[in-house]
Amino acid sequence: MQIQFSSSAPKDIRLVAQLISEGNIPSDLEPTISDGATAARFKGRVGQVFEGFVVRNEHLTRVALAGSGKVDAANRDANLEKAGAALAAKFLRSGETAMVVDFSGADLSAEQAAKVLLGLKLRSWRHDEYRTTLAEDKKATLESTTVINAPDGTQAAWADQAAIAKGVEFTRSLVAEPANIVYPVSFVERCQKAFEGTGAELTVLDEDQMAKLGMDALLGVGQGSRQPSRLLAIRWNGGEEGEKPTVFVGKGVTFDTGGISLKPGAGMEDMKWDMGGAGAVAGAMLALVGRKAKANIVGVVGLAENMPDGNAQRPGDLVTSMSGQTIEVINTDAEGRLVLCDALHWAQEEFEPARIVDFATLTGAIIISLGTEYGGLFANDDALADDILAAGKSSGDSMWRMPIGPAYDKLIDSPIADIKNVGPRGGGSITAAQFLKRFIKKGTAWAHCDIAGMVWTDKPGATWDKGATGFGVRLIDQFVADTLEK
């Protein structure tokens, strides 16, 4: 979806949309539209869309009214996003190729108008690249939107939101791709292409380099796969020179069979999105770099494919992490924490971060706890946790804080090693977080975001269709804006 700004609508336009707040249908609309909207019980509530047809400039014109809810609503920005998204959902496959969004009479600020466009852009994303027999009436047709009568400053406000949308779309593309298309090496290649010419610095470690550093935990996950593992760092120095960076670390298991601890066959195809944490970090970095964030930030992703073969890691194996801590591998399907522990340690050694936050589709247990409404947040620092919770609430990528503490340590103590990679069935997401905490250096503020229930959905949402949601990108961007760019 291309979005451009103009002083007037194209002469041949066939679809024109207006934003309507609740209870405020304009009096200057053609009677066919205003009377039709009233008859259809259109009130301007959030997500409502009414369409009618009139003759304008000697052309039959499709007029859409999109409800944006109450003007004084506390969640006004979110409602405006939903209004734009409702237009995309309604007309993406309508047969129209172009639309005009007319902001006249909407009484919005530039930032609010940009939120409408963000919702429109996000909801218009689809992943149809491999669908060759799709019926014509199922294909997306809407390609461009022209914005007219926008508040002063909307184009500048939209530039930042467009960068965020690009990051979300990049994440969705990575998460949606099958594992024979996106695997560790191709994930890196896509990032190298996406960040080319942006000013970001990319560092890639191959298996030999990781082996020399002692990353046997990460490498053990991928040793049963033909696809070699990788570690990728994306650095952006947009803040004060010499200021310690904030580092975001993502779990990138590009496909997870469970390894020797093989998962059940039903639903295993969904495990292509087990790199959703890495996807979120990469997409967030693209958004932050795209809008030239005034902060020093680094994104690190550990990439591996977890497969069962004659060389695969076995339950009961012992590996030594880069930190020097030894790990008894009880279950090879608890592989994400093995990838993350080495990535987290390397990130601390390499960048000496002021704070470090990881994102991972780490446990099914978090879905049992929180469903698909919240990601699970674990932290060793209350201020950091509060900042993430606030950013989640503001961005719409909602998080809920969960407990960690010394009482859980005994659940992952090993009789033969420093730690084992799983605890008992109860508190599975907590013991996973407690595992990661052992690899955080003393004095470093750290948070772990378990987003297993959030990166993929079987139901359409306000700003996404079924499939990859792009969860985490906006949370990271908002966190950076709120805490590092003030």
> Mind telling me the catalytic residues?
263, 337
Measured CA to CA, the distance from residue 93 to residue 332 in angstroms comes to 44
Backbone angles phi, psi at 341, to 5 degrees: -60, -40
Contact assessment for residue 176 and residue 125, using Cβ atoms and an 8 Å cutoff: no
Q: Which of 107, 96, 103 lies closest to 61 in space, CA to CA?
A: 96
Contact assessment for residue 462 and residue 276, using Cβ atoms and an 8 Å cutoff: no
Sign of the dihedral defined by the CA atoms of residues 223, 219, 203, 475, in that order: positive
CA dihedral 439, 428, 183, 315 (to 10 degrees): 80
- The two structure tokens encoding residue 342: 């080495």
Look at residue 187 and give its three-state secondary structure: helix
Backbone angles phi, psi at 414, to 5 degrees: -110, 145
- 355-360 and 445-450 strand pairing: parallel
CA dihedral 268, 272, 274, 275 (to 10 degrees): 170
* DSSP 3-state percent helix, strand, coil across the chain (nearest 5): 35, 20, 40
